[in-house]
Structure 1
């Protein structure tokens, strides 16, 4: 059956009516940045569509062909961070959304450098998603200037936030039973100076990994707790930060906490000066020494596609899928523009060996986030924009994971269209 393009939001496109979308989850939560086109990273032109606003969308499953199970509300957010602009509480009742940057005035349509000149952000929106059919913003609370990433502790009692404001580069916020911040724990006294671009909570609840942009290092913080209450009393730097590539992105611990994975996007002059530079990125596997008796060390690194910003680790920890943006975010008239992005499929063994199995191209601009479903048999990938004229959409692409001795990916014949600027997603399992 010929595919139809229907120019309204939230339509699942289907190639054959006999097929069903395969994705094992209660819902997907996404955020979309309406303030700029992806190409503004290069030429500074927003190309903002009239009347559009930043949004949070809740997509309930199962989806039908003409589903009304997508609810959207206005929530300020920004793509000008890495991949941790939103986090869900462990009970999936609350979404915390970072406003990394604010909204430009209506009379401003272009900036010389969006990363440097975009209006500052400075708060987190707290969104009630306990009723997936009726999401609502509860309140906002201030952070440091330009918060970059947020993560929640596995027990749901603390948020860790990194921002660009001096003395607020890294903070841990204690939450009350409703999810509201009630206390701030500041960074360790001997913490290295410089811009922090990422934070990750260890699955055992007692460590936080961080990335230092200027020195291109990844380090580890150990959390000290009060014995009777279990509350955090301070944070201590553990060991020495480890140099990771030329341009490290946002990292993740494996589900068992044994390893820490970080992509290297290889942007900048340092990468280009490397012998054999081909523009492609790397994935690093690190091993932290949690006892602090020796330094942390690199296990392995593996080449993936170009600009590998987002990635996901399977629930069993055996596979890693990386979203390679390539140059899909370049202006369409640019000779360097790439109409396709890609996914790299990798296997991860118990000894930390990471092996690239294959790369799969697909049409879409700036894929930044990936998530496995509950079963680990399917993934969802965000797409910031599509290569089409007229009305623009972001969306989610779905892929099946075909397991075996040599796993493969199979693209599903479905697209979920969302507001342009879709750049982060989280799964309600």
Structure 2
């Protein structure tokens, strides 16, 4: 979600966070970032400087996912719900802190942060081991499949920060300039390219990765209105871009996702699919058969607005080759945005922001069923993420 229309100094409000899945092979944990310092009531954004922020770790080794640990940790609801990442060996978690409450008389205001927090997941409980200074308002981030680097989108700056990862040591190794501020950057499964959503320019930047070097190909691709988030299919053939519209807020109008062909040079748009009011969360299954889009769906609007809905929806999209089509929608809780699949693709976890819980859904091929199971969290799930595919 975005509050650009409400708070001019803030470029984008989103619901960020992450969590994991259950009963999965070769997987140990999922992390979820929670933020109670920002509340959305009757369409208004309220800052509670005393609201707790934290990181929760979900253990996936048993028959059901369980909340293993929660620690205090600064993070932010602002930006798309992908401000966290886990290294492939599940040793570290990186969490971007986009916005933070001000100090003194400005405690009820939000100001851009410039920190990425590093958490060691192998200790009991997990502990923060470093804070890395990056660009202003770090938001969506992705960790390379090989685990040696991460890319961070800085929403208040026109560059992507490059982080080097060497076991427990994380440091800034460089940056790559882009033509506009970005909300998220996604790394392709083969690790050789990345895409960044530039919301104000309504474009996606195409980046090339060669070892430790990241360059801008200068092939910005026009997509839809206010591209806020995206994901890439496991085979690297397609990217699906969420166009949230109206600066990232609900307004009752239907919005689209844009389908990009990544196998063609240059990368280009091959389709648009209508999904609903203000798509924000998106995750593509590890099987590559479906993508799931979370809609704001009016939950962030005034209670008397014609488009207001107390409970939100997710939309399931089928992927057949390069054809993406709408298959199903499921009503869940309040603002169901943060989305993550289990590594085997059999489970889907969706963060219900207002309900402070995670919905557990089962996936059988292209069919998704709500199990009714919920994982309670100590705060509003701002983002969910599993380790890189």
TM bucket (normalised to shorter chain) is: 0.7 to 0.9
Find the counterpart in structure 2 of residue 415 from structure 1.
Answer: 374
2:370 is the alignment partner of 1:401? no
Q: Is the 8 A contact 2:188 2:236 kept in 1?
A: yes
2:31 is the alignment partner of 1:29? yes
1:419 offset after TM fit, Å? 2.2
Query: Which residues of 2 match residues 145-224 of structure 1 at below 5 A?
Result: 145-164=136-155, 166=157, 169-181=159-171, 183-187=172-176, 191-192=178-179, 194-224=180-210
Query: Which residues of 2 match residues 368-387 of structure 1 at below 5 A?
Result: 368-386=337-355
Change (3 A) 1:110 1:139: closer
Find the counterpart in structure 1 of residue 3 from structure 2.
Answer: none
SS for the counterpart of 1:154 is coil
Deviations along 1:166-194, one digit per CA (max 9) or x if unpaired, are 5x62121223232321x522315xx42x2
Alpha-carbon distance in 2 for matches of 1:99, 1:109: 16
Of 119, 131, 134 in structure 2, the residue corresponding to residue 127 of structure 1 is: 119
Q: Is the 8 A contact 2:85 2:93 kept in 1?
A: yes
Larger Rg: 1
Alpha-carbon distance in 2 for matches of 1:301, 1:68: 38
1:420 offset after TM fit, Å? 2.8
Alpha-carbon distance in 1 for matches of 2:386, 2:209: 27
Find the counterpart in structure 1 of residue 385 from structure 2.
Answer: 426
Of 348, 352, 360 in structure 1, the residue corresponding to residue 319 of structure 2 is: 348
The TM-score normalised by the length of structure 2 is 0.85
Q: Is the 8 A contact 2:314 2:336 kept in 1?
A: no
Q: Is the 8 A contact 2:40 2:46 kept in 1?
A: no
Gaps of 5+ in 2: 1-20
Change (3 A) 1:124 1:22: closer
Alpha-carbon distance in 1 for matches of 2:367, 2:129: 42
SS for the counterpart of 2:219 is strand
Question: Comparing both structures, which one devotes a greater share of its residues to strand?
Answer: 2
Find the counterpart in structure 1 of residue 5 from structure 2.
Answer: none
Of 245, 256, 260 in structure 1, the residue corresponding to residue 224 of structure 2 is: 245
Q: Is the 8 A contact 2:80 2:280 kept in 1?
A: yes
Query: Which residues of 2 match residues 39-78 of structure 1 at below 5 A?
Result: 39=41, 42-46=43-47, 48=48, 52-61=51-60, 69-78=67-76
SS for the counterpart of 1:119 is strand
SS for the counterpart of 1:148 is strand
1:335 offset after TM fit, Å? 5.7
Change (3 A) 1:252 1:34: same
1:418 offset after TM fit, Å? 0.8
Deviations along 1:10-38, one digit per CA (max 9) or x if unpaired, are xxxxxxxxxxx964353321010111113
RCO comparison, higher one (Cα < 8 Å, 6+):
2
Change (3 A) 1:139 1:239: closer
Of 128, 136, 141 in structure 1, the residue corresponding to residue 132 of structure 2 is: 141
Find the counterpart in structure 1 of residue 78 from structure 2.
Answer: 80
* Aligned positions, number: 365
